[in-house]
Amino acid sequence: MPDIAALRKRALHAIDQRRDALFDLSRAIHSNPETAYEERQAAGRLADFLERNGFVVERGYRGIETSYRGDASGAKKNGGPRVAILAEYDALAELGHGCGHNLIAMIGTAAAIGVREVIGELDGSLAAIGAPAEEGGGGKVALLRAGGFDDVDAAMMIHPTTGRSLAGRHSLASNRVLVEYFGKAAHAASQPDQGINALDGLIQLFNSVNAMRQQLRPDARIHGIITNGGSAANVIPDRTAGRFSVRALDRRYQQEVLKRFIACAEGAATATGTTVKVTVHENAGYENMVFSTPMAERWTQHMKGLGMPVFEARDDERVGSTDMGNVMQVLPAIHPYIAIATDPVPGHSIAFRDLAVTQGALDNALIAAKALALTALDVLTDPAILQRARAEFEERRKTGIVRGRAS
């Protein structure tokens, strides 16, 4: 039986030894923002960092160019449980790291290095998985479809927030949808009767959605932008396009809302004489999160032991969507939130982007990484924790709360 206290101390020391290098890594990713599936510099930096710290790294993991996987085996090599610690590193278009994925990348890497320090004395093994394209591109969805988590028993990562640190909270199931309308171009002044205005179709869709909101549950969200509204004011546009996100607290109701949204799009085409093409993006179907209670409780205990308070999520928490929900639908996983500032700062904002590179944010993120490393060690050294996590997951599968792995 390994000396757990000694293992924990060594794991934390390994993280502390690399403190400055980890901060530099986070800053480098922040200063070079890359959007979904374009994160070549970030993925390369993270893979290099893992290799320098003893991991066997596979780049382009499961055929996804900007994904990677670093493996570290325990004493049994292929025996015992396998824990995956995940990293995200994509940025938002134009805004940069307004969601703090530079911190997520550092947290995942730091925690993985801490566990790697002692993995040789444990029976299980560790996978540090780089998951690209969380901001709408569904990198984890693509990895799941490609079998990237087939050999994983438990998964974990941490996301930055402000105000209060949380062991977990719910998220919204979602789909990203492209809607295109097609009409007939004509001179808008001299021959308007010869045209069919594709922009009318798209505007009518927005109006229909606004009317439908009155009959939706409070947790439903439909929001969109016009990405192509035409080329000139004096030309009736023959093609327009908009991008939308359709969300709700649970997948079943979200799919109902999606059907109603598509009906609105088709009705708008009928009303305006246009034709419509609706594309529901395959990798952007995000499930709602259902976190593992036994593992979340361990992370909370370790955070408090490191001097950081953790709070319970409220029912009225404002939440978005993440493809970590898809991972939670097939295996026990956690996705805690670390507060990088006490005052609330809206996510996906310039203010959050600027906050995510401050020294205070880096310091708090590193503490969260230490708690994550200790949680992974708990799963690897205490069979009862994983047994409880699996039992909870199986009970949820029976009641339809989670889907489980495909048989």
Which of 363, 364, 358 is CA-nearest to residue 336?
A: 364
Q: Report d(CA 234, CA 310) in Å as an integer.
A: 58
Q: Report d(CA 92, CA 68) in Å as an integer.
A: 20
| pLDDT score at 7 | 96
Helices (H), 166-229: 198-212
| pLDDT score at 223 | 96
Burial label, 355 (beta-carbon count in 10 A; 0-12, 13-18, 19+): buried
Q: Report d(CA 105, CA 131) in Å as an integer.
A: 9
Strand order, beta sheet including 173-182: 221-228, 239-248, 173-182, 275-280
- Evaluate whether 66 touches 47 at the Cβ level (below 8 Å): no
| pLDDT score at 78 | 62
| pLDDT score at 314 | 75
- Evaluate whether 117 touches 11 at the Cβ level (below 8 Å): yes
Please measure the distance between the N-terminal and C-terminal CA atoms of the chain and give it in whole angstroms. Answer: 35
| pLDDT score at 313 | 80
| pLDDT score at 1 | 63
- Evaluate whether 112 touches 299 at the Cβ level (below 8 Å): no
| pLDDT score at 79 | 75
| pLDDT score at 75 | 59
Which regions in the chain score pLDDT beneath 50?
A: none
CA distances from residue 187 to 193, 223, 312 in whole angstroms, order as listed: 9, 31, 60
Domains of the chain, earliest start first: 4-171+287-398 (3.40.630.10), 173-284 (3.30.70.360)
